[in-house]
Structure 1
Amino acid sequence: MRQLFTSLVEGVLAIGSFIQAQDTQILEAIREKYNLPGLAAARYRDSGLIKSAVGLRKVDDPTKLKATDTFHLGSNTKAMTGTLIGILVDQGCLDWNLTLPKALPELAPILSEGHRETTIEMLGAHRTGIQDDTSQDKEFLERLYDPSLSPTEGRRLWLSRLLSKDPVGVPSEYFYDNANYLILGHIIEKYTGHGSSWEEIIAEQLFKPLDMKCGFGSPPESSITSVDNPWGHLVNSPSDVPTPVGGPLIRRDNPPTLGPAGTVHCDIESYTKFLQLHLDGFNGRPTPLKISSETFKKLHTPYPSSPSDNQPYTYGGWGYLDGSTSPWSNGPVLSHAGSNVLNYAEVILAPRLGDKGEALMAFMNVGNAVQGGTLPAGNATIDLFRSMLNGSLFPPPKEA
């Protein structure tokens, strides 16, 4: 009997090693095809989380990228900020239809007429008409890197500058802009009280109860030259060799002020806990944060479309597909991609896939080309998710 048991264990381990080798080969082929420094991927389903990584943390250093590393999430942070808004709605602090003059009365005297009817739900769905050009003002952005200026103070400066001018676009029409989530982050700071920053609030109300090991800005390093986590890399055109970007950590990311729109970093295990929260919430299962079913539905519902729309987007920070063009998903799909130019992350949530829903994740320590198209990160992600969905990468476990 003992010999039979030993043989069975050895057989299972051999199958597991074969599958892992196959996963590594697929990831390495995608990494080489798009000239990525490093590539990590993960899939979460009811059988658990499986993840893998290939390549290097830094192109001129031999340290291997690991699936346990910390990755920059970029604009995938927005769904976290949206979740905090939902929590405040459930607490009775906010209402989705609250307008800016009422949400931020201290800014009411400088608000332009074009922002006075802007609501929280419009901000969450990028329907404010805001097309912010602040990122073009190098002198202003430089000021935001000053360590003596807190992220909250930076957000006040940004919003005072932004909201005193009428929006460039048409309110109610979709236009993706980080500034919408800076405003939401500042609203969170105001209504949570006690002078806490968005960074402190999200750590206390989201990361801590979900046991997520997350932080802000470029992934942590023990020194300015260490390679403890993936370094971000820059490519100006699709044919470029990725260039690692060093210097002080604060300079390896957008200014800290942009936190609510896209500065969170997490390890894959931690990020999966946030995704599981939304899979469970979508499907009506209990969650550690006890967010109401009504709020989860709001977070996952797209804003009513207009003829100019190119992407349905929910009130809570997710791209949305109704499932009509994705038969594999068995229903709606929530997704988002994020990049600070030096890193890239993308996630797909398919809440009706399988028994409890699934999450597909991709992480790269290089962004899309600044010029000349979407390579390398965007197309690499397409190949990666296609490999997951056709069963060649991270295949489902064999039934006993």
Structure 2
Amino acid sequence: MRPVRLTPLLALAVLFQLTSVSFAEAQEDLESRLEPVREEFGLPAMVAAVAVDGEIVAAGATGLRALGHDAPAEVEDRIHIGSDTKAMTALLAGMAVEEDLLSWNSTIGDVLGDKVPDMNETLAEVRLEQLLSHSSGIPSDTQEMIEIYFNANAFEHNLTDLRLMALDAWKDHEPVIPDDSPFQYANFGYLIAGTMIETAMGQPWEALIQQRIFQPLELETAGLGATATPGLIDALVGHSQENTGEPEARPWGAAADIPPIMGPAGTAHMSILDFARWGAWISGGAHRGPKLVAPETLAYIMDPKVPAKIPNPPPGTPEEGGYALGWGIEQFDWADRPLHTHNGSNSMNLAKILVDPEVDIAIVVATNIGGRQANLAAGYIMKELYLAYGGN
């Protein structure tokens, strides 16, 4: 492993651990970076954390949990991480592979054919690895898929049954792989992958992520769905601009998150500190405890599987990169090598994660509103923290 470059701020971060400087003071330093960016981009709140060599060296929170309420954002507050959940689903798949319950080449038909008969032959031949790398030919969300996600049957069935019903409703479609690139970001593909995992492992995806990831990593704030306790403003609350064009807090109920059926694609939440702990476990290459999978399995998950072309990317997002299993690989103009990263958003929140196993750094940034401004602000902070804490 290449030694960490001791930039001035990284040296300062080390000093925090070696002198009487408190973590609260380190936190204040990071908040001084976040607040002007939060104000400039008009965000309700902004939180971030940095982990180096498995330890959180800085964290900060600024702004409000919810507009219209006077509760300030704190680093212990739960934040919604959206599609950053996909990396956790991919890790559960790795566990199933290690336990010989699945293989990366297991097909939808192999695992679910008995439960969803008369499936389109091409769809039935789609492999688990294709689903997890967005290269199956299943398209990005269509209107038909959205109607399946929001099906009124949600009140009458368990989530495992609902996911099987979703696949059954879409089973006549034939996946089509584009000529220029096989990459099509497909939430529906992750819904199917989650169904394969829970079928093979004999437990609902919701139980698996709790028992096999959240609990072993001691992510005590981690959960699924909307962040705030009904009736309380005790977390970073998502904000929607759909109705009036102005940010509106969405604290509770169905309007506060995407449908639970989409859990494998992106419904996890946790504090920015726990999000950093998750990132730190990844950046450590599975060499630090707890043992969730073997280092070789995590390396396979993180290895790029498909080139990814992003049409009309937002500013700061490369047009091309790669996609592994639940992780994107991007070459940023401020880094000297491609980095593992991912964005997550349920349209009301936005979370970014970046890990660099070469120098064992994990950086997480989140805000409680979605959209272009949130993406730009979080991307700017991610870059600044990477350069400050050991990247180059």
TM-score by length of 2: 0.84
- Find the aligned partners of 1:81 and 1:137 in 2 and give their Cα distance: 20
SS across alignment from 2:354: strand
Decide whether the 8 Å contact of 1:233 with 1:342 is kept in 2: yes
Please point out which of 382, 385, 396 is paired with 2:379: 382
- Find the aligned partners of 2:43 and 2:309 in 1 and give their Cα distance: 37
1:319 equivalenced with 2:319 (yes/no):
no
Alignment match, 2:362 = 359
Alignment match, 1:230 = 236
SS across alignment from 1:200: helix
Structure 1 residue 332: deviation in Å?
4.3
Instruction: Render the CA deviation track for 1:183-208: whole Å, top value 9, x for unaligned.
Output: 11101111112xx2110111111112
Structure 1 residue 158: deviation in Å?
1.0
Decide whether the 8 Å contact of 1:69 with 1:267 is kept in 2: yes
Identity of aligned residues (%): 28
Superposed counterparts of 1:42-81, under 5 Å? 42-46=49-53, 48-49=55-56, 50-81=58-89
The residue type paired with residue 379 of structure 1 is: L
The residue type paired with residue 148 of structure 1 is: E
1:118 equivalenced with 2:126 (yes/no):
yes
Structure 1 pair 107–20 and aligned structure 2 pair: CA distance change class (3 A): closer
For the pair shown, the structure with the greater C-alpha radius of gyration is 1
Aligned residues: 364
Structure 1 pair 12–244 and aligned structure 2 pair: CA distance change class (3 A): same
Alignment match, 1:372 = none
Structure 1 residue 12: deviation in Å?
5.6
CA RMSD of aligned residues (A): 2.9
Alignment match, 1:341 = 347
The residue type paired with residue 52 of structure 1 is: G
Decide whether the 8 Å contact of 1:112 with 1:166 is kept in 2: yes
Instruction: Render the CA deviation track for 1:4-46: whole Å, top value 9, x for unaligned.
Output: xxxxx9x966797775544323211000111000000111112
Structure 1 residue 70: deviation in Å?
0.6
**Unmatched segments (≥5 aa) in structure 1:** 1-8, 369-374
The residue type paired with residue 242 of structure 1 is: P
Decide whether the 8 Å contact of 1:132 with 1:162 is kept in 2: no
Decide whether the 8 Å contact of 2:53 with 2:284 is kept in 1: no
Structure 1 residue 273: deviation in Å?
2.9
Decide whether the 8 Å contact of 1:351 with 1:358 is kept in 2: yes
Alignment match, 1:244 = 249
Alignment match, 2:268 = 264
Decide whether the 8 Å contact of 1:144 with 1:255 is kept in 2: no
TM-score by length of 1: 0.82
Structure 1 residues 287-296 or 158-167, which shifts more? 287-296
- Find the aligned partners of 1:212 and 1:319 in 2 and give their Cα distance: 23
Decide whether the 8 Å contact of 2:34 with 2:46 is kept in 1: yes
- Find the aligned partners of 2:134 and 2:204 in 1 and give their Cα distance: 23
Structure 1 residues 27-36 or 39-48, which shifts more? 39-48
Alignment match, 1:278 = 282
Decide whether the 8 Å contact of 2:191 with 2:264 is kept in 1: yes
Structure 1 residues 31-40 or 92-101, which shifts more? 92-101
Structure 1 residue 100: deviation in Å?
1.7
Decide whether the 8 Å contact of 1:181 with 1:261 is kept in 2: yes
Structure 1 residue 163: deviation in Å?
2.4
SS across alignment from 2:279: helix
The residue type paired with residue 139 of structure 2 is: Q
- Find the aligned partners of 1:111 and 1:64 in 2 and give their Cα distance: 51
**Unmatched segments (≥5 aa) in structure 2:** 1-15, 311-318
Structure 1 residues 119-128 or 201-210, which shifts more? 201-210
- Find the aligned partners of 1:105 and 1:267 in 2 and give their Cα distance: 39
Instruction: Render the CA deviation track for 1:66-92: whole Å, top value 9, x for unaligned.
Output: 011011110000000000000111111
Superposed counterparts of 1:158-197, under 5 Å? 158-170=166-178, 173-193=182-202, 196-197=203-204
SS across alignment from 1:92: coil
Structure 1 pair 135–41 and aligned structure 2 pair: CA distance change class (3 A): farther
The residue type paired with residue 111 of structure 2 is: A
Structure 1 pair 255–19 and aligned structure 2 pair: CA distance change class (3 A): closer
The residue type paired with residue 34 of structure 2 is: L
Please point out which of 299, 302, 306 is paired with 1:300: 302
- Find the aligned partners of 1:47 and 1:261 in 2 and give their Cα distance: 26
Alignment match, 2:10 = none
Alignment match, 1:6 = none
